[in-house]
Amino acid sequence: MATIRYLFRYLLTHRDLVLAATPPPDRRFSAPSVGVRRAHIAGLLRETGTEGDGELLTESLLAYLDPALLDHLVHRRGIPQERVEAGWRNLLEIATDSGDGVTRGVTGDRRPAHPT
């Protein structure tokens, strides 16, 4: 999670540079940097034993890290960066919820998905 938190901050702090370096739409999702992020997220989902379509869950979580979307949400819509980060974590928790009320953390620990 610390890596993703750092990535959010990096992308937003250096947004002009990151946006200028973003590949054109026909290569945007095959760029090496996106491949590294995709592999990292897919690994986290595998490590947690996430059920469901891991490939599409990975792409959904990866979409949150798109520089243009982050710029739009934070700088155009005015959504606080902390809220965007929390939304990503919430999506990850939903994705790793086993359906039995237990969310599996990235280290394989089991904790209630929704504390009572």
Predicted pLDDT of residue 48: 86
Which of 64, 13, 15, 11 is CA-nearest to residue 38? 64
Query: If you compute the radius of gyration of the chain from its CA atoms, what whole number of angstroms results?
Result: 15
- pLDDT bin (cut points 50, 70, 90) of residue 99 is low
Mean pLDDT, range 7-18, rounded to an integer:
88
Using the predicted structure, report yes or no on whether residue 89 has a pLDDT greater than 80: yes
pTM of the model: 0.71
Across 28-42, average pLDDT: 88
Interatomic CA distance for residues 103 and 110, integer angstroms: 6
Instruction: Give residue 79's pLDDT.
Output: 96
Smallest CA-to-CA distance from 50 within 42, 39, 40 is with: 42
pLDDT tens column, 18-31: 888 888 878 888 88
Contact indicator for 13, 89 with CB cutoff of 8 Å: no
Within 8 A by CB and 6+ apart from 65, the residues are 4, 7, 8, 11, 37, 88
75 or 116: which leads in pLDDT: 75
Please give the Cα distance from 58 to 60 (Å, whole number): 5
DSSP letters of 1-66? -HHHHHHHHHHHHTHHHHHHHPPPTTTGGGSHHHHHHHHHHHHHHHHTT--S-HHHHHHHHHHTT-
